[in-house]
A = this chain, B = another copy of it.
Amino acid sequence: MQKMKSTPETDQSIIVTVDAVLFALREKKLHVLLTRRPNEPYAGQWALPGGYVHKQEDADSLAAALRVLRSKTGIAPPYLEQLYSFADGARDPRGWSVSLSYFALVDEAVLAKARLAASAPPFELVDVNAVPRLSFDHNRIVEAALKRLRDKSAYSTLPCYLLPEQFTFAQVHETYEHVMAVALDKSAFRRKLTEMDVLQECPGQRVGGAHRPAQLFRVKVDLVHRLRLLERPLAANLST
């Protein structure tokens, strides 16, 4: 207690927020969720969903991120990971600030459903290749999240969180290709996925025409809500 009193009061008044980069696939393209800021600074401008840590209410920064995402998007993403903390005196016009940044992946159908709710907060999905000028330093936060997503996708089941619970092999293949921004040989990719032992067939579940219906897969039950890391990358990617 002694130390806290002897520290200049101004050094304690640092702004602490949580901000989240939420990725989803729309029309097979990677999108990021944006909101319009209701208040100054940057009122009416695009921004990531975010807000102050409420120290009376949030047990920790993860709880704060979940609360903010719930209030700004209506959903609780199945995969949420701390990305990085952006902390400096210039990123927020109100003063020295810390953004405890998270990134999340979600099936777009879940977002679409959340929008139908009566209390749906307004948000937009924007193509990651067409992100407008955002409030604060949120553009660099999106860039960092995109890099993390691509790096991590090369050696984990991360992209599966962008898919519905059940998906075809073609869907998981094109999702990895799209997220990693590389072409992945279909049969080599299928062989690696099999080696990884992360997917299971959904018995009797097939989609498509009666002629050659496609088998449906899902992430193995014990791997849902956590990542399976691979010893060797699925393929080199562009961002390292």
Contacts and interface: CB of A to CB of B under 8 A. Distances in A.
Interface of A: 1-4, 7-8, 10-16, 39-41, 52-56, 58-61, 64, 82, 84-85, 87-90, 94-96, 98, 100, 229, 231-233, 236, 240
Contact of A85 (B56, B61, B88, B90): B61
A3 to B, nearest CB: 4
Nearest to A54: B11
A48 to B, nearest CB: 16
**A4, A40, A82: which has the most chain B beta carbons within 10 Å?**
A4
Given A7-B52, A11-B54, A16-B87, 19 more contacts: A1-B40, A1-B94, A3-B39, A3-B41, A4-B94, A8-B56, A10-B56, A11-B52, A12-B15, A12-B52, A14-B55, A59-B88, A59-B90, A61-B98, A98-B98, A231-B233, A231-B236, A231-B240, A232-B232
A33 to B, nearest CB: 21
B88 A61 contact: yes
A59 B89 contact: yes
Which 3 pairs, one residue from A and one from B, show the smallest C-beta to C-beta distance? Answer: A60-B88, A55-B96, A61-B87
Contacts of A229: 240
Count of this chain's copies in the oligomeric assembly: 2
A87 B52 contact: no
A233 B12 CA distance: 43
Contact of A96 (B1, B53, B84, B88): B53
A135 B131 CA distance: 43
A150 to B, nearest CB: 13
26 contacts: A2-B40, A3-B40, A3-B41, A4-B15, A11-B52, A11-B53, A11-B54, A11-B55, A11-B56, A13-B55, A14-B14, A14-B16, A14-B55, A16-B16, A16-B87, A53-B96, A58-B89, A60-B88, A60-B90, A61-B85, A61-B98, A64-B87, A85-B98, A98-B98, A231-B233, A231-B236
Contacts of A53: 11, 14, 87, 96
A84 B81 CA distance: 11
